[in-house]
Amino acid sequence: MCEGLNILKQGAEAKLFICNYLGKPTLIKERFKKHYRHIDLDVSITKERIKNEARLIVRCKIAGVKTPALYLVDFERRRIYMQHFENSITVKDFIINVVAKNEKEIDKALNFVAKQIGETVRKMHENNIIHGDLTTSNMLLVEKLPSNVQDDTKWFHYDNLELVMIDFGLSFIDTSTEDKGVDLYVLERALISTHNNFPDLFETILNSYKNFSTKNIKEIISKFDEVRARGRKRTMVG
Amino acid sequence: MVIAIGFEGSANKLGIGIVKNGEILANCRRTYITPPGEGFLPRETAEHHQENIHEVLREALDQSGLSPKDIDVVCYTKGPGMGAPLMVCAIVARTCAKLWDKPILGVNHCIGHIEMGRLITNAKNPTVLYVSGGNTQVIAYSRQRYRIFGETIDIAVGNCLDRFARVLKLSNAPSPGYNIEQAAKKGKKYLHLPYCVKGMDVSFSGILSYMEDKIDELLKEYTPEDLCYSLQETVFAMLVEITERAMAHCGSDEVLIVGGVGCNERLQEMMGVMCEERGGKVFATDERFCIDNGVMIAHAGALAFQSGTRMDFRDSTITQRYRTDDVLVTWRDD
């Protein structure tokens, strides 16, 4: 079905393989068995997440949010086959390894990436898509046209970059503002813990999120503040 | 060289411990145990601490063989925790500091757990899972702070277990969680429960209300042991999953489990399997150090004191809300 399987990396819940499927560079995401949890629980979680991932990728396409194209779902082998972006970098790597080392570009690069993130997340929420795991590891920057530039300077040609969302295992469809608020809260927390050297990043993202569309924005933001308060003020006894 | 005494009383455990450069000289504790079906309330818990604290202090000093003049710093839990019980320990600590003419230092309870775990297990820079009756957090160290990567967005895992024990009217001695653990060992039939992971955060309140609402129906089909078993399997799977996510995220291969729920052997076992599968290592301690105690406060206080942290006597207050990432870690330079 797919020749030449090379393991790319092992994440927390899946192994990623690169191969060539029907002549296209393909990424296989295999949600391997987790022996620590009860077998029934493992099977149901895995099945649900594969389903979610496939379903939400399609949903994002309709909403105009960039994601990898879905090629094949194989429940038997717990695999999803999807488009592999050869010229890409995770936003996490971009911020930590590229931006931080090019001082002159910091402001411009962060503003660009924050605007992209804010707009993309807003677009998803407008379509009631809740990502469920918004971190900078789950966002890719991809070159629209491969530039063949070898060094990092290619990541500063912003016109040639687009943001691609990945990893929809925890995603779902929901119309409530509560889930959108939680989604934003998860993103804020991820940024605080991973990119603590750029404390303003989330604020910039949130502004772009707010400005992209005005529909329901008051309700979402007040829900977000409520979720935030719940987390921060929770009595932490014992 | 620093000799520190630590007072801990943020919840239903009252503990006093004495350490000398990481060597434990005394570790004394009393637990306020409520009848089955009931939890502990702030006022009664504070009364319990008041009644016992002098005896425990005497016991700790005797056990260490030291006299007050040997002590360099008096440490106490500043927070987080229940107000009234915290206050009891803070007042006694302040009085001792004045009587003995020693400096006083307030300690963050969560930091106490982490530093105690690192001391006992010798884990260098682990991803920490801190699980207790009041807290559920996945923590990793970076740039002078213990940063929270994931946590519960509603109730703590220990709170979920304790309250389910109340639903089943299990005994609170020695602790509700311990009795759930023992019952779970006899459980066979697995019941699917809500499973709620949001990124690196978790939520337990839905599971608890599901169990509470349906308990009469459930008991027709499942034994209490089956329910304890299913509850443990579900909530621990969630905890192991977010810990693994945090490890993958930080590129770490060590896990340290601390806090009262951390002495659950099933949780330790599941964490062990996860670590084995990714070539990592798990560190855990037993009930002497996992469950709230005075030594952890003394040890964390001693580390801070040694690295120059000081507290003005006027600032020796308590706070019910005190986040782990509020504390500047002056004693680590990595």
Is B177 flagged in the annotation as binding? Answer: yes
What local confidence, expressed as pLDDT, does residue A236 receive? 47
**Nearest-10 crossing angle of helices A201-212, A177-194:** 150
- Tokens of residue A122, six digits: 């807003």
C-beta of residue B275 within 8 angstroms of C-beta of residue B281: yes
Chain A CB contacts of B148 below 8 Å: 189, 193
Backbone angles phi, psi at A231, to 5 degrees: -70, -45
Q: Are A134 and A114 in contact (CB under 8 A)?
A: no
B257: which 2 tokens? 């489990």
Which alpha helices (H) appear in B168-310, and where do they start and end? 176-185, 205-221, 224-250, 265-277, 287-290, 294-306
User: pLDDT tens across A164-215, in order?
Assistant: 999 999 999 999 999 999 999 989 988 988 898 899 999 999 999 999 988 8
Separation CA A33–CA A75 (nearest Å): 13
CA distance B75 to B94: 9
The answer to whether B133 is a known ligand-binding residue is: yes
Over chain A, what is the mean pLDDT? 90
Interfacial residues of A (vs B; Cβ cutoff 8 Å): 10-13, 34-38, 40-41, 44-45, 132-135, 137, 170, 182, 185-186, 189-190, 192-194, 196-197, 227, 230-238
> Is B192 labelled a binding residue?
no
By percentage, how much of chain A surpasses pLDDT 90?
A: 71
Q: Which of A40, A93, A107, A133 is catalytic?
A: A133
Q: Which of B248, B259, B277 sits opposite A35 (nearest CB)?
A: B277
For B107-128, write each residue's pLDDT tens digit.
999 999 999 999 999 998 999 9
The SS3 assignment for B263 reads helix
Residues A116, A163 contacting (CB under 8 angstroms): yes
Distance CA A57, CA A80 (A): 11
Residue B143 predicted with pLDDT over 90:
no
Q: Do B164 and B226 form a contact (C-beta atoms < 8 A)?
A: no
Q: CA-to-CA distance for B95 and A110, rounded, in angstroms?
A: 52
Taking Cα atoms as reference points, which of A73, A62, A65 lies closest to residue A31?
A73
Residue B100 pLDDT > 80: yes
Closest CB from B190, B198, B277 relative to A186: B198
Query: What DSSP designation does A181 have?
Result: H
Q: How far apart are CA A47 and CA B72, in angstroms?
A: 58
The helix/strand/coil state of B150 is: strand
| Angle subtended at Cα B331 by Cα B319 and Cα B295, rounded to the nearest 5 degrees | 60
A133 in catalytic set: yes
- Say how far apart CA B47 and CA B116 lie, in whole Å: 27
Could you report the per-residue pLDDT of A115-150, keeping only the tens digit for each? 999 999 999 999 999 999 999 999 999 999 888 888
**What ipTM was assigned to the predicted interfaces of this complex?**
0.87
| Pick from B162, B144, B30, B160: nearest CA to B85 | B30
CB-CB neighbours of B16 under 10 Å: 34
Domains of chain B in sequence order: 3-113+291-326 (3.30.420.40), 124-289 (3.30.420.40)
Q: How far is CA B278 from CA A10, A49, A167, B118, B234, in A?
A: 9, 21, 20, 21, 21
Q: How confident is the model at residue A13 (pLDDT cuts 50, 70, 90)?
A: confident
**Three-class SS string for B225-246?**
HHHHHHHHHHHHHHHHHHHHHH
CA distances from B155 to A187, B91, B159, B169 (A): 20, 29, 6, 20
Neighbouring CB atoms inside 10 A of B162's CB total 23
| Tens of pLDDT, residues B19-28 | 999 999 999 9
Q: What is the set of domains in chain A, with CATH numbers?
A: 3-83 (3.30.200.20), 88-233 (1.10.510.10)
Q: Which residues of B touch A132 (CB under 8 A)?
A: 198-199
pLDDT-based confidence at B49, cuts 50/70/90?
very high
Helix and strand tally (H, E) in chain A? 6, 10
In this predicted model, what pLDDT tens digit does every residue of A149-169 receive, in sequence order? 888 889 999 999 999 999 999
Extended strands (E) in chain B: 3-8, 13-20, 23-31, 73-79, 104-108, 127-131, 136-142, 145-151, 197-198, 201-202, 254-258, 281-284
Is the pLDDT score of A75 beyond 50? yes
Task: Work out the pLDDT band at A2, boundaries 50, 70, 90.
Answer: low
Q: For B281-332, what is each residue's pLDDT tens digit?
A: 999 998 899 999 999 999 999 999 999 999 999 999 999 989 898 899 999 9
